[in-house]
Structure formats: C-alpha cells, structure tokens
Amino acid sequence: MSAASPATGQSGTTFLLTLIVRRLASGLLTLFLVALVVFIVSGLLPGDAAQEMLGQSATPEAVAALRQQMGLDQPASIRFVRWLAGLLGGDPGFSMVANMPVADIIASRLPNSLILAGLSTLVAVPMALTIGIASALRQGGRLDRALNTATLSMVAVPEFLIATIAVLIFAVELRWLPSIALVPASGTFLDLLRALAMPVLSLSVIVVAQMARMTRAAIIAQLGLPYVEMARLKGVAPARLVLVHVLPNAIAPIVNAMALSLSYLLGGAVIVETIFNYPGLASLMVNAVTSRDMPLLQACAMIFCGAYLLLVLVADIVAILANPRLRNR
Amino acid sequence: MSAIPDAKNPGWAARLPLTGKVGLGLVIFWIATAIAGPWLAPYDPGAFAHQDVFAGIGAAHWLGSDYLGRDVLSRVLSGARYSVGLAAAAAIAASTTGTGMALLAAVSPRWLDEVLSRFMDTLISIPSKIFSLVLVAAVGSSLPLLFLIATLIYIPGAYRIARSQAVNLAQMDYVQVARTRGEGAAYIAIREILPNMIHPMLADFGLRFVFIVLLLSGLSFLGLGVQPPDADLGSLVRENISGLGEGAPAILVPALAIATLTVGVNLLIDALPRRRGSKEG
C-alpha cells in the first residue's frame, strides 16, 4: 500500500479517511477495468446472440432486424456502457437460452451460494485460527511440522478428491448423509443441515489449509520482533503472549488471509457444487458456459469478481484501521 | 526450514528433509510416467478390455475397469501425459512471459511500468476459475486453446512476483555500476538482473505448475477441459463419477494420481532452501 505523506496539521481521522477514500477509488477503478476485460473477452468470437437465436437458416435481413432490436448494431463502446449501467442498476440483461431475465435466474441461486459460503465460513475460520495459532506456538516442534505437512498437502489436493472421499466415508460407508445435496423445499432445519453437511465439510477442509498457513506465517513474523522478546522477558505466559500481545498486531495479514480464502467460497465452489448437485451460483455459471449463455455468464463473472474485490477492500481497510501508527498521527 | 547454504552443491537431494525426498520421488515418478506412460500401458486405453464395469482391483486389471469396462491403469498412464505435459508447457510459458515482462518493466520508463502493472493487477483480480470459465465460453477448449488459457491466467501472478524481485535488484549497486558503465537496458536486464532472480522464479514456477494442474483438471472434471477422445486425469474422474456410490477404483485412482503429483511438487518446493516468497496469484 502506498501511503502518501500526509499534509502537516491534518488530524488522524482525516488522514485515515483520505487513505480509505483513496483505497475505495482504486478498488472501483479495478472493478471497472475487470468489467472491461470480462466484456471484451466474452465478445471475442464472431457471431452474436441475434445470429444464434435465429439459427443458420435465418435471412440476413431478419438477423439485422433482430440485431437492431437488441441493440447489437451499436458500437462496442456503447454496448459496454449500456451493459455496465444495467449491471449497476440491477438489470444485467436477458438470457436468450433460459428465456428469462438474468436477474431472476441469479436471484433464485444466489441465496443458496450465500448459505453455503456463510456456513463454511462459520466452520472454517475458527478451525483455521486454532490450527494456525497452535502451530505458531509450537514453531519447529513435532506438532508444527506435522500440521505444516498436512496443510501443505491439503493446499495442493484437487477439490474433487476431497469431495469424493467425503462421499465415500459419510454416504457410502457410514450412510449418515445423503450423497446429493438436494435441499428439500419443505424440509426442517435439520434436513437442511444434513443436506449441506458434506458440501460445507469439503469446502471448509479446502479453505482451512490456506487460511491456517497464512495465520501461522503472520504470527511467526511477529514472534521475532523486539516487543515480543520484551514481553517474554517480563514473564508473560506463551498462550497469553500470542493471544493478547501478538494477535492484535497480526490482525491485518490474518484478515487478508481470511478475505482471500472466503472469496474462494463463492466462485471456487464450482467443483464442490457440481459433485453434490448443489444449486448454487457457481454451478449456474458452469451451465452458462456449456449453453454459451453470455449475458448470464458475464453477470455471474461480475458477481464473483465484485465479491473478491469487496473482500480484499474490506481486508485492506481493516489493515488501515488496525494500524495504530496511522491512527495517532 | 533448516538453512542449507547452497542448493547447487552436489548431493543437495540427499540433504533434503524427508518430506522433500518424498516430494522429489513423486515428481520424478510422474515425469517418467508422463513420458513413458503410453508404452507401459498393459492395454489399449480405448479398448473394452474387461467384461465388467467398475471392477475392483484384480490380477489382470491392477486398478480395475472404468464405466465402459476399459482398463483403468492404462487410461491413467495415458492420461498423465495430458495433465503433466499441458500444465508443464503452460507453466513454462507463463513463467517466462511473466519474468520477461517484469524485466521489461524494471528497465523501462516509469509510465510503461505503471501501465503494465495496472494491467496485470486487473487480470489478477479476476479469480482464476472464473476467468477460465469466461475464456472457455468465449473461445472453446481445444488443447492449444487450453494451453493458451492457462498461460494467460497465470502470467499476471508470475509477473507480480518477478517484478518485485526485479525492481529491488535494479536498485542494487552493481546494477547502478553497470548503468554508469553505459550498458544498455537489455544487457542490464538479462546479464545483471535475471541471474539473481532465477531461484525464486524457479520456486514460483513450481507453484504455478501446481495451480495449472489443478485448474486444468478442474476444467476437465467440469467437462470444459480436455475433450474426448483425449482424456486427462480430470476427465477420468468425471467420466467415472457414477462409480462413486460403489467406491470404484476408476474414480479414486485418477483423483489420487493428481493429488500425488501436486502434493509432491508442493512438498519438494517447500523443502528447497529459499527465502520465504509470497504465495498465491
């Protein structure tokens, strides 16, 4: 982060606000550029929706007429602005494939994705913090090395292996859980939990490893600093040292790790959603790829990119707020 | 990590910790399989060699049969070539392009550096899976296109790591000396800066390879990657998904194969002596 030197006489709060506003502006610029990339890339191939709707046998006149009706005869820059305005206004276009507004399709899937991501967060964050802190406390010890090898391996394991093993254990061998996450329309809360258990478990396992590794690294980076030695010499117990002295100082990198991992829970859930037939947004996007439903694909991509940028933004703002040096200027 | 002074000394492999040796063994095993796999396959990977589908482990078919009764071992041996080869090619292309552009940025005027970096920052803000889905939808998924897609997605990460290295090195005294001596930008980039960032970039290359293997096998698993009749390890998991309920080796073996490949590379990189670099990208 490039913190510019503040003008003299500025109060701490104003300075903080300036930093945050600048960070917000940079985030918005990135989002705009991402939208531009998504728009350009998804229009790479020749042929357009009008042609596709009418099929090969359509007369050129009919295609031209429909194209004009859909606004496809406009130059790309105008279509981009129109698309962007639609996105911001909550109307990301019309899906030719499903013959309904993209907003309606997404509205039916988004809550499912949010429930899955939310539950996985609730499971994964405490686990990751515990593992990260435990290995940092025993740095170099047997527990740390075992956890290090375990998380290092988990980071590289393909998601479908984790999901497959979960199915084999809990659905095939133990028969505790259904192997497909069919969320019953009129089920009880318990039914919902049972249906979600394995997707949540698989996703948690995937993100915990990354989060735990970064938590450990953040804490260990602090352990070498003079204030930690001071506290140690003062006779502070190791657990208290980490929880009370070190953790507040490591909050920024830890929140950053959380943000990166949590952004994974939305878009990265593609494979887990597919294996368990979970009706989330990510599997919707895969369907959009298969059916070449470009408006839907673009909207999904922008939701995932927006969520990612938002999480990173929040992490950066937390980092700015958590830094007492910036606060007490 | 224990500090080993120089990885180039003879016997560096012998000095790796146990996890590193396991990793090295797995990496060598998979490279050998990718090269020799098709010749070692006991059956034609496309032949219906078994009368049962989803057969278990047996003497004639070591790893059982798949959903059409084909030999799983033969299919894995042939599929490894796509998983390892395509990912290695894309990782090499992404790392060299990223490094080259980073060197260019380090010795170029400031505006070019800023434009390049802004562009890369934009691309890096698109989650890799999402980006790959958009690209596959836009251009399709033949083998050359998959190579290009994976390369494009992982160039920005390589660029970011390489640029942070190169910009720091460009401030070093010996680079200043070379500049004062009147050396050209190309000489400075290639002879002064590049040799000093090779090691971190090799470690980064390994990580990038892992990311690409996972991305491509994920795409194949979704049916959007390598298309039949070709099959990489991800396609093998996909086509045998109906054997999940029986716990057939046909679905577990290819999934485990990918895991041993990527975990092996990760263990090896982690055991190599290096400064802690930034991950992810």
Residue A67 within a domain? no
Average pLDDT of A3-29? 75
Residues B163-200: tens digit of each pLDDT = 999 988 988 899 889 989 988 888 989 888 999 898 88
A164–B266 C-beta distance less than 8 A: no
**Whole-structure pTM value:** 0.87
Torsion over CA of A72, A74, A75 and A81, rounded to 10 degrees? -90
Distance (Å) from the C-alpha of residue A154 to the closest C-alpha of chain B? Answer: 8
Using pLDDT thresholds of 50, 70 and 90, give the confidence band for residue A6.
very low
Tell whether B19 lies on the interface with A, counting CB pairs under 8 A: yes
A44–B139 C-beta distance less than 8 A: yes
Q: Which of A164, A217, A292 sits opposite B255 (nearest CB)?
A: A164
Residues B83-119: tens digit of each pLDDT = 999 999 999 999 999 999 999 998 888 899 999 999 9
What is residue B27's predicted lDDT score, i.e. its pLDDT?
93
Per-residue pLDDT for B3 more than 60? no
CATH code: domain of residue A206: 1.10.3720.10
User: Containing domain of residue A246, as a range?
Assistant: 102-323
Residues B119/B141, Cβ–Cβ less than 8 Å: no
Residue A280 in 3-state DSSP?
A: coil
Residues B13/B21, Cβ–Cβ less than 8 Å: yes
Tell whether A267 lies on the interface with B, counting CB pairs under 8 A: yes
The ipTM estimated for the assembled molecules is 0.84
Domain ranges across chain B:
18-42+60-271
Query: Scanning every residue of chain B, which has its alpha carbon at the shortest distance from the alpha carbon of A313?
Result: B125
B263 secondary structure, DSSP code: H
- Provide the strand spans (E) within B26-145: none
Tell whether B265 lies on the interface with A, counting CB pairs under 8 A: yes
Query: Scanning every residue of chain B, which has its alpha carbon at the shortest distance from the alpha carbon of A311?
Result: B125
Span between the terminal Cα atoms of chain B, in Å = 23
Residue A71 token pair: 């606004």
How many Cβ pairs closer than 8 A exist between chain A and B?
Answer: 138
Per-residue pLDDT for B42 more than 80? yes
Residue A318 within a domain? yes
- Report how many domains make up chain A: 1
What is residue A179's predicted lDDT score, i.e. its pLDDT?
65
Rounded Cα distance, A283 and A295, in Å? 15
CA B228 to chain centroid, in Å, comes to 22
A6 secondary structure, DSSP code: P
Burial of A92 (0-12, 13-18, 19+ CB in 10 A): buried
Q: In chain A, which residues have their Cβ closer than 8 Å to the Cβ of B135?
A: 41
Average pLDDT of B2-31? 76
Distances (CA, A) of A90 to A38, A160, A325: 17, 34, 40
Query: Scanning every residue of chain A, which has its alpha carbon at the shortest distance from the alpha carbon of B279?
Result: A214
Worst-scoring range by mean pLDDT, A105-109, B42-46, B158-162?
A: B42-46
Residue A214 within a domain? yes
What amino acid occupies position B169? L
Residue A18 within a domain? no
What is residue A86's predicted lDDT score, i.e. its pLDDT?
86
Residue A47 in 3-state DSSP?
A: coil
Average pLDDT of A133-161? 87
B247–A172 C-beta distance less than 8 A: yes
Per-residue pLDDT for A3 more than 50? no
Using pLDDT thresholds of 50, 70 and 90, give the confidence band for residue B275.
very low
Q: Which CATH number fits domain B18-42+60-271: 1.10.3720.10, 3.40.50.920, 2.40.50.100, 3.30.930.10?
A: 1.10.3720.10
What are B12-21's contacts with CB under 8 Å, separation 24+?
Answer: B16/B268, B16/B271, B16/B272, B17/B271, B19/A149, B19/A152, B19/B267, B19/B270, B19/B271, B20/B267, B20/B268, B20/B270, B20/B271, B20/B272, B21/B271
Tell whether A217 lies on the interface with B, counting CB pairs under 8 A: yes
A38–B133 C-beta distance less than 8 A: no
Residue A89 within a domain? no
Distance (Å) from the C-alpha of residue A231 to the closest C-alpha of chain B? Answer: 26
Chain-wide mean pLDDT for chain A? 83
Tell whether B275 lies on the interface with A, counting CB pairs under 8 A: no
Residues A39-82: tens digit of each pLDDT = 988 877 655 666 666 666 777 777 777 777 766 777 788 888 88
DSSP letter string over B1-27? ----S-TTSTTTTTTS-HHHHHHHHHH
The more confident residue out of B64 and A103 is: A103
Query: Scanning every residue of chain A, which has its alpha carbon at the shortest distance from the alpha carbon of B277?
Result: A217
Per-residue pLDDT for B206 more than 60? yes
| Angle of CA points B133, A44, B140, to nearest 5° | 45
Using pLDDT thresholds of 50, 70 and 90, give the confidence band for residue A190.
confident
Chain-wide mean pLDDT for chain B? 86
DSSP letter string over B169-226? HHTSHHHHHHHHHT--HHHIIIIIIGGGGHHHHHHHHHHHHHHHHHHHHHHHHTTSSS
What is residue B162's predicted lDDT score, i.e. its pLDDT?
94
Residue A198 within a domain? yes
A235 secondary structure, DSSP code: T
Per-residue pLDDT for A13 more than 90? no
